[in-house]
Each structure stands twice: as structure tokens, then as C-alpha cells.
Chains A and B, each alone.
Chain A
């Protein structure tokens, strides 16, 4: 095999090609002047979602806290009365079980907290699911992973884009 030595010409060509590709395919993201970008849906976030989970004081017997905050994209204003649905594989049921699902509303400061059974590792990671799926804003599904399976709380941030 002949050895190929990287020349300046190669490097310039690579750079030019990269610029062309990103420019032509729209892979670049324009800089946003007004601050808070909307939260994208996470991969696998909607798995085992059951639309219309009831608003509850607590899912099952509790012991674990799902917390979070909901803001509006752009100005970052906290959003009150936003319905957030939560589900997970816990000590009391699989993700698909109806009793593993529940919903809550955000307070005036945009935060929410919902007590639920301890999340346990399932499908390889200790993780929870959250959904914002109501008409006023674009739907967002989140799938945060716990740093440790022994954590007794999990936090999620929503930045919603008006629909």
C-alpha cells in the first residue's frame, strides 16, 4: 500500500467540502437572538405512552419524586396550569401498566412535582418518561435517565413552542 501524506491541499479541500455539505443540507442551525430554545422530543420518549392519563395526587404508593419546570420558548416565561403526563417502570408496575401512569399540573412558577413509586432499571437504564401532549403547544416527549438507580428523584425541563 502506498502511504498517503496529508497535504495542505487535502485539508483545504476537506474544509471546502464540509462547508458545501453543511450549507447545502441545512445541517447548520441559525443563531437564535431570543434566548430559550424549545426542548426537542427525545428518542424513545413516547414509548408505551397512554394518552389521557388522569391527574392524580400521587401515582401508586409514592416514595419517588418526578420534578420539573415548564417554560415558553423564546422569552422563557414559566407556564402555569400545564398538564404533564408521567410514566415509568417502577416497583409497582411495568411501563405499559395503566397504574404506572399519571399526570399533574404546573404551578404559578412553572414547576411541577409528582410523587410516584421508585423507578427501577428497565430495558437497560433507570429512566422515566414525561409527555406534554395538549393543544396549546407543540407535543414534547422526554425520556430522562437517572444518574444512579438509587436516586429517589428525577428532574425534567420543558421549553414549549406555541402550536
Chain B
């Protein structure tokens, strides 16, 4: 992608509420046609930043520029044609049909009584098509799944024809499939429709796979921006989580590993190893290459695992559940732990 002038830019931006500044001196940029993800701990002010950037909440100080023009100089109508939002909040009027809801996106473009011209109708059709919901146009919100409703809300933002779309937790409350679909849709919008997208999410794994860059926000320190890979390799991602006694392990499928995790050796069929690793991390252990100093697991088949303990005893188990029980039993017995610690201190 060619580097372009930033579409959205903040300069020394401070946000928050009267008497409660959440972030100070934010200097952030969004470039055209990219997806950016806001990363921060819960309650850190991600929603506040999104609200401030689309003019729903005044900034405490500093400047926001959209297309090189200060946000303050936009009329409500012009702003509504520049930035579209999709929120987590529930919508009322569940009897609205998908088409009518997407039609509301035409608001900033229609006249006094909001009559839809043919051009507006075309845009609505195209928006529904872009999110793959054309066949659902006549359905009511109440009849849809959370994932479908979210697509309709995104279609509304498309119908608004804004170059910038801000989404606050677009995948919250969605099932796994809808989460992936929503993120794929956003990626499609940025690639094919050249939309500039900024979203917040808790779905770190999906975000790492989808977005072009991260804005990492931490109270009391500067925002860190960059591609997911650079932030992981440079250790910034790990630092976001270090406070909670956890380390972020970039090598193990973007998972957060507890600091005092116990090493367990794993080898065997790669498709099984992935899930054994998952179970180990989840239960406070850390997958390692095979070694004699700690328990090791050979994954033969989904119903056959061989555990080799440091004392040389081998044991066969038939499921991951039995595997975890066996490991727990072995750990609760006195073991030559000193050796392990000296090796991995």
C-alpha cells in the first residue's frame, strides 16, 4: 500500500471528562484505507477516545484534524458525512427492517423530510450488498442474530458514505463465527472500498490477524503505534500486559502466559500439539521442547498421549482431560524440582 497523507490526525490531544483527564498529549494518525485497532485495558478510555474523535464529546485540549481541517470547523451535517460510527449499545425499535435502518444512514444526505431519491436507494442496496445482507433487507432487527445486526449497523455506516468509520467493540457479544466474519468484512471495506477504519476490541488474536496497525493506550504514558508484528517483536505488546503478572508470549499463538508457568515438553503430531499447548497454557503451564528435566508429552493421536516424567516413569493417557489430571498428580508429588529451577532460573 502506498503511504498517503493521514486522513485523521490528532495533535497534543487530551481527552476525558471535566476533572478527569484520561489521556494527555495524544499524537495519533490514521492513513487512508487502513484498519487500526485501539488496544488498552478495560476502562482505560478507548470509548472516550472514539467519542472524541467523531465529535460526540469535546476534547479537553489539543486538536483533531480530519482531512487537514480541524474537527471544530465541521458542521454537524458535514461531520456526519465524514465520520460514521458503529456502537456496542443495543438499539431500540427492534421492529425496524434492515432496509429502513440502513436508510437512516442516508440522513446526512437527504432533504428536510428525509425523502429517499433513486440515488439514495442505490446506495442503500449497495451497502446491504457490501455486507452480504441483500436478501435480509425486509427482515426486522428482532428477527436477526447479533452478528447480522452488527452487519446491518456497518451497512448503515457504509450508506452514510463516510471515508472514516469508527467502531466501538464491534465484535463484543458476537459468537466466534460472527466475530471472524465481522473482522473480515472490515478488512474488505478497507481494502476494496478504501474506508479508513478505527475500532476497539478485546479480541486480540483476531485483531492481530486483521488490522494494519495498533494504537496502544496506557494511562500515564505515551501511546504506542505500529503494526501488530512490530509491537510484538519490540516487546510493546508484552508491556501492556506485564502489570497483571502475566507475560505476553508472541511465539505461542499470541497467548498470554502466566509468569510462574511450569515447563512441559511437547512433541508429536502438529495438529494435536496445537491443542495440547492450548490446554497447557490454560492450566498455567508452558509448552517447551522435550527435555528430561520436566514432564514431557508425546502426542500420538487424539486418543493416545504418552507422558514421560523426569523420574523416568511413562504413562499412557487417552484424552487431554486425563493428561491434565496426570500432570496435576505428578506435580503434587515430591519431585526433584531443584534440578528444573537451576536449569530455568
Do A and B come from the same complex? no
Residues of B within 8 A of A (CB): none
Contacts from A to B (Cβ < 8 Å): none
